[in-house]
A and B are shown apart, each in its own frame.
Chain A
Amino acid sequence: MADTETSVSARSPLAGHAARFAAATRRSGGAVRLAELPYLAQIDVRLDPKGPAADAVGLALGFPLPTQPNTVVHGGGSSALWLGPDEWLVVGRPGTRAELEGRLREAVGDEPAAVVDISAQRTALLVAGPRSRDLLSHGCALDLHPRSFGAGRCAQTLLARAQVVLAVRDELKPGFWVLVRSSFAGYLGDWLLDAATEYTGAV
């Protein structure tokens, strides 16, 4: 008899890469650290940065939305990344997406604004370690040196020809978030493992 029961179990786009990421991290001896950060809550917020909705969202998050292009503000368990002059990506911990979306939607009220849950659009990769800048530079034209891309910076750009959102992790040690579309995640995961060969040794 056919099994008619539906099973809905979450599976992250890079679940199949976890073992290889862990092995590469181990082999690099601390030079690079690769891991997926699955199921982050990601809410796209579009509103007038000078309108009352911007202030309301700032109050709801506990910090104001960044108005400087390509900057990110962290605080209170969530982060807000500048995506455009009227667009932000609010990133929260896994499992908080409904709560975060509800909180932001309540904050904007009837003001002209859009609050959309896009958690499934992208997955996040952690690329950390002292050689993480060198690793990303193999496929990214941006100057990732701390003097031009230091703490509090983020950017939407191309990494190995795939569209990504790069954000500097809010720590003293070098490390980045790489947010990539779910359908490109497998390709980018393979590319990162390949580009990291010189730091991890051949497989």
Chain B
Amino acid sequence: MLLIPCPWCGPRDEAEYTYGGQAHVPYPQDPASLPDEEWGRYLFHRANPKGPHAERWCHTAGCRRWFNAVRDTATNQLLAVYRAGEPRLAGGEANGRDLFA
């Protein structure tokens, strides 16, 4: 089981969380005027990297806050977590928070 560090509550079992897919997918400015192909791209196309992946998680059984995490999809190692609204992290850099303090 993954041990995921919630930016509010600290490390908790994966079972307490809900996965929310890729993070930082912007909602189109004017959906009504989008061509079908671009709307389909927004709805269905997601990055599928082997390596660091920014994704959304919700601490469902805890504080019920959404946050973002950078996870290496090859090793399942969590590289960074940051609260919703905080700037995007690429993973690996120090974000002032020890992941497993």
Seen from chain A, the residues whose Cβ lies within 8 Å of a Cβ on chain B are: 69-70, 83-85, 141-142, 155-158, 161, 163
Query: Quick check: which of B12-20, B24-32, B33-41, B88-96 contacts chain A, the rest being far away?
Result: B12-20
The answer, yes or no, to whether B42 is at the interface (CB within 8 Å) is no
Q: Is B63 at the interface (CB under 8 A from chain A)?
A: yes
Instruction: Decide: A156 and B8 in contact? CB cutoff 8 A.
Output: no
Chain A positions within 8 Å of B61 at CB level: 156-158, 163
CB pair A156–B15 under 8 Å, yes or no, is no
Closest chain A residue to B3, Cβ basis: A141
Q: Which residues of B contact A85 (CB under 8 A)?
A: 8, 63, 65
Q: How many angstroms from the CA of A157 to the CA of B12 in the assembled complex?
A: 9
**Contact indicator A157/B65 (Cβ below 8 Å):** no
Tell me the complex Cα distance, A142–B15, Å.
Answer: 12
Nearest Cβ distance between residue A69 and chain B, in whole angstroms?
5
Q: How far is the CA of A163 from the CA of B15 in the complex (A)?
A: 11
Decide if B62 is an interface residue (CB 8 Å cutoff): yes
* Chain B proximity of A149: nearest CB distance (Å): 11
Name which residue of chain A comes closest to B12, CB basis. Answer: A157
Is the CB–CB distance between B13 and A70 below 8 Å? no
The reply to whether B13 and A155 contact each other, CB–CB distance below 8 Å, is no
A141 and B13 contact, CB distance less than 8 A: yes
Q: Mark B41-63, 1 if CB is under 8 A from A, else 0.
A: 00000000000000000000111
In the complex, B9 has a CB within 8 A of chain A? yes
A161–B16 CA distance with the chains assembled, in angstroms: 9
List, in ascending order, chain A residues with CB within 8 A of B63's CB: 69, 83-85, 156
Given A85-B65, A155-B62, A156-B61, check contact A70 B9 (CB 8 Å).
Answer: yes
Specify which chain B residues have a CB less than 8 angstroms from the CB of A155 in the assembled complex. Answer: 9, 62
Q: Which residue of A lies closest to B15 (CB)?
A: A158
Given contacts A84-B65, A157-B61, contact A69 B12 (CB under 8 A): no
Q: Kindly state the separation between the CA atoms of A155 and B15 in the bound complex, as whole angstroms.
A: 15
Contact residues in B for A158 (Cβ distance below 8 Å):
13, 15-16, 61
A83 to B61, CA, bound (A): 11
Specify the chain B residue showing the minimal Cβ separation from A162.
Answer: B61
Taking the nearest CB of chain B, how far is it from the CB of A153, in angstroms?
Answer: 11
**Closest Cβ neighbor of A84 among chain B residues:** B63
Asked if A157 and B8 sit within 8 Å, CB to CB, the answer is: no
Closest 7 CB pairs of A and B: A84-B63, A69-B8, A156-B62, A141-B13, A158-B61, A163-B61, A69-B9
